[in-house]
Structure formats: C-alpha cells, structure tokens
Amino acid sequence: MSLAASVGVRLRELREARGMSLSELARRSKIGKGTLSELESGRRNPTLETLYALTTALKVPLSTVLCDLASPARISGHAVDAVLVERFEADTSVTETYRVRIRSGAAQESAAHSPGTTEHIIVFTGIARVGGLTDPALVGPGMHGSWAADVPHLYHAPEGDVEALLVVRHPR
C-alpha cells in the first residue's frame, strides 16, 4: 500500500473513532473538506504541514498516522523533510524522534501542537533558527535547542541545508 493510501486509511480510522464528521475535522484543522476527502481516499499525497494540522485537530501525535507503515515514511513540507525514526510510548507521554532536513533559505512556521508539547533539536550540519516565533534561537553543528511547541514555532535554515535530529514529546 502506498504512503498516501496508508496514511489516508489511518486518518479516516482516527476521525471515525472520535465520532467526528469529515466537515468537523476539516473545520478544526482548517484543511479543506475536498482535500481531506482526497487524503482519506489515498488520492492525494499528504504534506508535513497538512498532517500536523490534522493530527493536532485529532489530538494525536503525528507518529500515530506514520508508525505502522511498512517502511520509514518520508514526509515533506514547504521547508522541512522528516523521517520518523522512533516512537516511544510511556504512561505519561509519547516521544517521537525524526531525522530532519531544513532546506537552505527556507522557513516553516508550525502551528501550535497540543498543550504541553515540547520539541528538542540536535543539529548535525548547518545552522538552524528554531523555536517560538518571537524568540527563535540559532543552533549550529553539535549544539542543541529546546522550545515549547504548544505555541506557533519556526524552523529556518538561513544559509545552507540543516541536517538534524528532532525529538517531539507529547504529554498524554
């Protein structure tokens, strides 16, 4: 099954398990109903931004729609490419680990995730501007940064590609 089809099936299952209509999920996620219908049917490839909007509206971590795939899923957005490396579930949290690339000169503003969500980055190469929109930090090779991800936040590669490890922690 293709990535689009697998993710579409999972999105529909999550939506239906919550007793949510297609229209309601479209409204909560600010994703068009037609787009959502195409995603659920596997006729449209999801972007990173779209999946984050939908999983946030469904109140689940992004990895919930990616973790059961046969091979690691590579999801791309406007500025960021991400591959889910690991998902760890504990009683109090779900922690996701992603290998990410922020493309040179590109910036992505991410919407707030569920309350209490935090993100942590370890940069391998390049310089990343990451964190809250009002106070992003510069993080270079061998450095790490952390920020609250329950507010809008930024990923930006001001010069050259950034290769990094991103850890996202969602409280239960």
pLDDT in tens, 8-63: 999 999 999 999 999 999 999 999 999 999 999 989 888 888 998 999 999 999 88
User: What is the tens place of the pLDDT at every residue in 54-89?
Assistant: 999 999 998 888 877 666 778 888 899 999 999 999
* Interacting residues of 164 by C-beta distance below 8 A, sequence separation 6+: 99, 100, 101, 102, 121, 122, 123, 124, 126, 128, 139
Query: Is it the case that residue 4 has pLDDT exceeding 90?
Result: no
pLDDT score recorded for residue 111: 87
CATH topology of domain 3-66: 434 Repressor (Amino-terminal Domain) (1.10.260)
pLDDT score recorded for residue 69: 65
Spelled out in words, what is the top-level CATH class assigned to the domain 77-171? Answer: mainly beta
**Do 3-66 and 77-171 share a fold?**
no
Structure tokens belonging to residue 1: 């099954």
More confident residue, 2 or 86: 86
pLDDT score recorded for residue 1: 65
Within 90-157, strands assigned E span 93-102, 107-110, 118-125, 128-132, 137-139, 144-148, 153-156
pLDDT score recorded for residue 2: 81
pLDDT score recorded for residue 127: 97
Amino acid (one-letter) located at 158: P
Q: Are the C-beta atoms of 111 and 127 separated by less than 8 Å?
A: no
Q: Where are the domains of the chain?
A: 3-66, 77-171
pLDDT score recorded for residue 12: 94
Q: Are the C-beta atoms of 7 and 65 separated by less than 8 Å?
A: yes
